[in-house]
Amino acid sequence: MGILKAEGLKKYFGEVHAVDGVSLEIKDGEFVSVVGPNGSGKTTLVNLISGALLPDSGVIYFEGRNITKLPAHQRVKLGIGRSFQIPMVYEFLSSLDNILVSILSRNGHSRIFHRTVDKFEGARKEAMELLKIFSIPLKLVAELPHGHRKLLDVAMALALQPRLVLLDEPTSGISLEERDQVMGTIAEVLKERKIAAVIVEHDMDIVAEYSDRILVMHDGKILKEGGKEVLEDEEVRRILIGD
């Protein structure tokens, strides 16, 4: 069994079958991209894995444990992290303080009010190291360009020390010049730390370059899966880019 296994996942919204009988397995350290047209069920699948949504039926195992009904915060504690299409960062705090929020929460210190943040020297050192690894400037988040905000969102997820991270369109809204740098940095850190990743992505060049495996979703189902050669499949090309 891989680090994550899902069997027969279904999530319906009325007549819309957003996820319709999906089964998948993610191995330790594997880089898996989920692609498909808008409305194919990609983000709903990620929401089911993260716990943002609960499935109507099916089961999810993480490291052999049934987590199907666990809420999102408990899945984070077990080792499932997530970044978002729109970076979920605190604009009024510095980049350093954003990462500290994740570290202090991970260590159970977020409710300690009799000590100031500067007293947690180990946490500050760890946060500074993550800023360095991702080349994120130490400044107010409101002053950071979009690419650095994307990296900060990922850095905050990694500060929780996950075994699996879910990345929802990590290169969306980033200029063509920045995309390879941002994705290259993310991939390098994940590979170095042997963190498995499930990535929802629309940029097929990024998908082909960095994926160990590609899952193609259509109408709530996994239509095809395999290496980058899947992107050359005639049916997949028709679904992704039209006739």
- The per-residue pLDDT for range 32-74, each reduced to its tens digit, is 999 999 889 999 999 999 999 999 999 999 999 999 999 998 9
What pLDDT was estimated at residue 52? 93
Average pLDDT value for residue range 88-99 = 88
Both tokens of 220, joined, read 């709530």
The long-range contacts involving 130-133, CB below 8 angstroms and separated by at least 24 positions, are: 130/99, 130/155, 130/158, 130/159, 131/95, 131/96, 131/99, 131/155, 133/189
What pLDDT was estimated at residue 117? 53
What pLDDT was estimated at residue 15? 92
pLDDT at 1 over 60: no
Per-residue pLDDT of 205-217, as tens digits, reads 889 999 999 999 9
Q: Which CATH number fits domain 1-79+162-243: 3.40.50.300, 3.40.50.720, 3.40.50.20, 1.20.140.10?
A: 3.40.50.300
Average pLDDT value for residue range 114-132 = 73
Average pLDDT value for residue range 113-122 = 54
Listed residue (157, 212, 153, 215) closest to 182, CA to CA: 153
Considering the chain, what percentage of its residues have pLDDT values greater than 70? 91
pLDDT band at 112 (very low <50, low <70, confident <90, very high): very low
How much is the pTM? 0.85
Both tokens of 94, joined, read 């510095």
Q: Which residues contact 8 (CB under 8 A, 6 or more apart)?
A: 21, 22, 23, 57, 58, 59
Determine contact, residues 29/198, Cβ cutoff 8 Å.
Answer: no
Per-residue pLDDT of 158-172, as tens digits, reads 888 899 999 888 887
Average pLDDT value for residue range 118-130 = 78
pLDDT at 113 over 50: no
pLDDT band at 104 (very low <50, low <70, confident <90, very high): confident
pLDDT at 188 over 80: yes
Average pLDDT value for residue range 179-202 = 88
pLDDT at 115 over 60: no
Q: Delimit the domains of the chain by residue range.
A: 1-79+162-243, 91-161
Distance of CA 81 to the CA centre of its chain: 7
Mean residue pLDDT of the chain comes to: 87
What pLDDT was estimated at residue 121? 63
Average pLDDT value for residue range 199-210 = 89
